[in-house]
Structure 1
Amino acid sequence: MESSLEEIEFLALSANRVDVLRLLSEGRYTRRELSETTGASQATLGRILGDFDERSWVRRDGSEYVATATGRLVSAGFTDLQEIVETERTLRDIVDFLPTESLSFDLRRLSNATITTPSQTRPNAPLQRLLELLEEAEDVRTVSHAFNEQTLSIVRERTKAGEQTFEGVFSRRAIEALTDESELRRRLESLLEADRAAVRITDDDVPLAVMIVDDVVYLLLRDAQGILRASVDVDDDHVRSWAKETIADYWEESTRLEPESLGPE
């Protein structure tokens, strides 16, 4: 009797086997329909269906074939494995920078995410991706350990113009970094005066930088030295629910930042 690893290898070594089992798990097909859908020859299908019959993964019903309960189980498990491996390949180069302790959703939700990394010609590509989204956004919410000059400038301009609403929770260190520079301090004060902006500050540790830009969830990823390594943006209901809940939790535990609380220049 073959081991489970040998059975996995048997299925994985043939894309046709994977496709046929998936199709038969979803419905009934004749051999001709399977051939037309998969592009496999009748001879190949004969071998595949024979192998599947030996394993009790499929059964024949008249001229049609359909997966058994265990065939559907194998197909579903293999599909899950494929999704996991595809996600791992997507995240492989950035996994060391993901705030995984704070991510309570299934990482497979990031399998279709847009990942932007710096290059020699575009060292600020991750940040530029965010700025492009911000320039068109109508609603922005965030919690972050940093508040950079470019982001501040865009949300300030758009909220003052009535084109965007902005709610942000930032670490005290992020705010102090802005108030240390007179020009950035003036821009922050201007943002705090905007009717469509609300900024809060927290003394708690903020281990991530997450932003909801309209319906898109955006993560800025930095290494231990604070160097920007990548950005991840995804439009996914589960990730969006996590982001909303995360921002709301920090919002509850933070205090409103008022212009007068910034102290003297």
Structure 2
Amino acid sequence: MESALAEIEFLALSSNRVAVLEALTEGVHTRSELADVTGASQPTLGRILRDLEERRWIARTDGGYEATATGRMVAEGMTDLLAIVETEAKLRPVVEWLPAESMDFDLGRLRDATITVPSRTRPSAPVKRVNETLRRAEDVQVCSHALNEGTLETVRERVVNGQQRFKGVLSRTAIDALAEDDSLRARLRELVAAEDATIRSHPEEIPIAVTVADGRVYLLVRDDDGVLQAAVDTDDPDVVSWAESVHERYWSAASPVEPDTL
């Protein structure tokens, strides 16, 4: 293991080494082309090429240099490792609150996710991120333990105007909370009565808040006290498939909400 870690360290200590090796996995490159890719000086590039040749990760050809089979294997592994570490660094601020027990997909699928966190100047930034999408989305699925006033009004307006199709499953407590307020109850009743909206009530508390809007997933992440910590959104196919399966699971165990029951 120590020798393997030493080789990883050898690559990790120089972004130019990684760049050269990755470039040569794509095809033959001359020294001048590699200099353009890395921005390294000729003496530095010469040392890099010698070191990679000694490890038999690259070989000289008539046209320059190219990666060997083992060089391509190492480059692929390094690329994967970098992607994993980059994803971990992105998720680190919110990982303790992610519903990991129910997220049955590789967390690496969140590499390109957008993470929106509250700030002093924008404390509601995560919710606004989701609502901005709802204002233009045509197909929306929601599975949640809550539905805030802003989201309800955005969805109601879009659905009533024929601009959106909405399918939501909410915890019974979320329905009851909205029904306790006369204004919110009226808006919820109008939404439920709309032709392009279907809402179901789940008897138990839904532990997550997931929205799928036009093929993009939005996950609202809360801490143990219920305080919103972030919105995580992505259009990765595996994550979308997961979100749709979560929605279907709660949907199938829920009961339809009718206007006259509110």
Q: Provide the rounded CA distance (Å) in 1 between the counterparts of 2:63 and 2:184.
A: 74
CA distance in 2, matches of 1:41, 1:256: 68
* Residue 33 (1) aligns with residue 13 (2): no
In structure 1, how many angstroms separate the alpha carbons of the residues matched to 2:117 and 2:238? Answer: 24
Q: Report the counterpart of residue 160 of structure 1 in structure 2.
A: 160
CA contact (8 A) 2:169 2:251 kept: yes
Q: Deviations over 1:201-245 (max 9, x none)?
A: 112442211101113211111111111111112222222222222
Question: RMSD across aligned C-alpha pairs, in angstroms?
Answer: 1.6
Where do 5+ consecutive residues of structure 1 fail to align?
none
The aligned runs of 1:201-216 (5 Å cut-off) are: 201-216=201-216
Partner-residue secondary structure (3-state), 2:36: helix
Tell me the distance in 2 between the aligned counterparts of 1:139 and 1:2.
Answer: 53
1:99-139 CA distances to partner (integer Å, 9 max, x unpaired)?
11121222222222221111112111111111111111111
Q: Which runs of 4+ in 1 moved over 6 A?
A: none
What corresponds to 2:174 in structure 1?
A: 174
- Return the offset for 1:49: 1.4
TM-superposition CA deviations, 1:9-49 (whole Å, max 9, x none): 11011111000011111211122221222222222222111
Instruction: Report the equivalent of 1:121.
Output: 121
Residues 134 and 154 in structure 2, CA contact (< 8 A), matched pair in contact too: yes
Q: C-alpha displacement at 1:68, in angstroms?
A: 1.4
Aligned to 1:224: 224
* Structure 2: gaps (5+ residues): none
Is residue 144–residue 210 contact of structure 2 (8 Å, CA) maintained in 1? yes
1:11 aligns with 2:11: yes
Most deviating of 212-221 and 34-43: 34-43
Hey, what's the Cα distance between the residues in 1 that align with 2:4 and 2:26?
23
Q: Specify the alignment match of 2:72 in structure 1.
A: 72
Q: Distance in 2 between matches of 1:55 and 1:70?
A: 9
The DSSP-based 3-state class of the residue aligned with 1:3 is: helix
The number of residues matched between the two structures is: 262
Q: Which moved more, 1:30-39 or 1:117-126?
A: 30-39
User: Separation in 1 of the partners of 2:238 and 2:26?
Assistant: 25
TM-score, length-scaled by structure 1: 0.93
Q: Please tell me whether residue 56 in structure 1 is matched to residue 59 in structure 2.
A: no
SS of residue matched to 2:118: coil
The residue identity in structure 1 corresponding to 2:116 is T
In structure 2, the residue matched to 1:187 is 187
CA distance in 1, matches of 2:135, 2:32: 53
Paired residue for 2:20? Answer: 20
TM-score by length of 2: 0.94
Q: Identity of aligned pairs, percent?
A: 55
Any conservation in 1 of the 2:28–2:63 contact (CA below 8 Å)? no
Structure 2 Cα separation of the partners of residues 56 and 240 of structure 1: 42
- 2:56 partner amino acid: S
